Amino acid sequence: SQQGEEDPQALSIQEGENATMNCSYKTSINNLQWYRQNSGRGLVHLILIRSNEREKHSGRLRVTLDTSKKSSSLLITASRAADTASYFCATPASGGSYIPTFGRGTSLIVHP
Amino acid sequence: NAGVMQNPRHLVRRRGQEARLRCSPMKGHSHVYWYRQLPEEGLKFMVYLQKENIIDESGMPKERFSAEFPKEGPSILRIQQVVRGDSAAYFCASSPGTVETQYFGPGTRLLVL
């Protein structure tokens, strides 16, 4: 079964706005990753956050992790049309595994 | 440094035929993972291989599917006697070792008629 689930399933915003996506998971993890997938392409790794970290930044991306709530969020600030893609969170499959399992993703559309 | 290569990018097969999907990992990467993605779904793990060894095949269907990663050459995912339900995008990823971050190829889209 899937470990992480993204919310919302779909998000449509205007260029310049911020986009926030959430991920909830079920069991304890030692890390959580976010990936992006453009239509018809493979996944691209965005950011990895470890269980002892609460927040991490990379350019216009900000990821938070709340282990007590078993949730993470991905914030894209000042979105661009090129950010249009599906975004997936990935968590280790089960105790000690480092093979990531993926949710169904959030489909983000940024209108120019 | 070329990324993960997959070929073919698109593959059409009739029911009952065989499908062979190839994956060349990034240079220096000895770990390969195969995933399947159905439309509007996330990626489902299938198999994890290192050179000449299958490490974890817990996500692989028990019948018709096999994978290998020989000492020389690409990793191969083989699907025998394909059925329409095998139609999906198959992605390969590689990593240099047992690290969390994987690098994905562009995928092979298999269509079974």
Q: What is the pLDDT of residues A48-76, one digit of tens each?
A: 999 999 999 999 999 999 999 999 999 99
In terms of average pLDDT, the best of A69-78, A99-108, B47-56, B91-100 is A69-78
Question: How many other CB atoms sit within 10 Å of the CB of residue A71?
Answer: 18
As a whole number of angstroms, the distance between CA A42 and CA B92 comes to: 9
Residue pointed to by tokens 């299958």: B54
Q: Over the stretch B43-92, which tens digit does the pLDDT of each residue have? A: 899 999 998 899 999 999 999 999 999 999 999 999 999 999 999 999 99
A44 touches chain B (CB under 8 A): yes
Residue pointed to by tokens 């974890």: B56
Q: Tell me which residue in A31, A33, A102 faces B42 most closely, judged by beta carbons.
A: A102
Is B56 close to A99, i.e. CB distance below 8 A?
yes
Q: What is the pLDDT of residue A15?
A: 97
- Give yes or no for a contact between A100 and A43, defined as CB atoms under 8 angstroms apart: no
Is A42 close to B106, i.e. CB distance below 8 A?
yes
The C-alpha of B106 sits at a distance from chain A's nearest C-alpha, in angstroms, of 4
Mean local confidence (pLDDT), A39-47:
90
Chosen from B33, B91, B100 to mutate, greatest number of chain A CBs within 10 A: B100
A33 touches chain B (CB under 8 A): yes
As a whole number of angstroms, the distance between CA A101 and CA A30 comes to: 13
Among chain B residues, the shortest Cα distance to A104 is held by B42
